[in-house]
Amino acid sequence: MPLRPIRALLTSLLIIALSACALLPNRDPLNINVVGVEPLPGQGLEVRFAVKLRLQNPNETPITYSGVALELDVNGRLLASGVSDQSGTIGRFSEAVLVVPVTVSAFAALRQAVGLSQSEGIDNMPYVLHGKLAGGVFGTMRFSDSGTLSLPRADGTW
């Protein structure tokens, strides 16, 4: 007999959980692209950059954020990471540029250098940028961007 109340309670909790999921907003993912990288002053053996991200909101409602975290992988290896406690709102069907400082440790740079010596060169290196835009318990949005990096040659040409 004691199983009947437990079964009723579990059924009620399941129904409540499923109806709560239906109330969550159905949002399209943000379009996020790297639009620039600029050097920042570093300390000791670290190298720092300001990564500029263009965030496009293709939704009918504004998106409010309260922080961002990034990880940059180059050639399949973690190169840089960064966080920022910036907050703001991206309006409906609007876009914004967000600048996030990232740090490259000496060890990450050394790993990349060893990887480059074993690969074909420094042109068209694949990168993947992973991150999250914090926006509350259910509002956090994860994103990624990928492509290839080409570094300038010694003579300044690409």
Would the pLDDT of 101 be above 70? yes
User: Which pLDDT does position 64 carry in this prediction?
Assistant: 87
For residues 131 and 69, give the distance between their C-alpha atoms in angstroms, rounded to a whole number: 5
Write the pLDDT tens digit of every residue in 20-46: 555 555 678 888 888 888 889 988 878
This prediction has a pTM of: 0.69
Q: List, in order of start, the domains of the chain with CATH numbers.
A: 27-149 (2.60.40.10)
Burial class (CB in 10 A: 0-12, 13-18, 19+), 125: buried
Structure tokens at 99: 């600048």
Q: Quick one: which H or E segment has residue 19? A: helix 3-23
For residues 79 and 73, give the distance between their C-alpha atoms in angstroms, rounded to a whole number: 5
User: Which pLDDT does position 81 carry in this prediction?
Assistant: 92
Burial class (CB in 10 A: 0-12, 13-18, 19+), 104: buried
Write the pLDDT tens digit of every residue in 74-94: 888 888 899 999 999 999 999
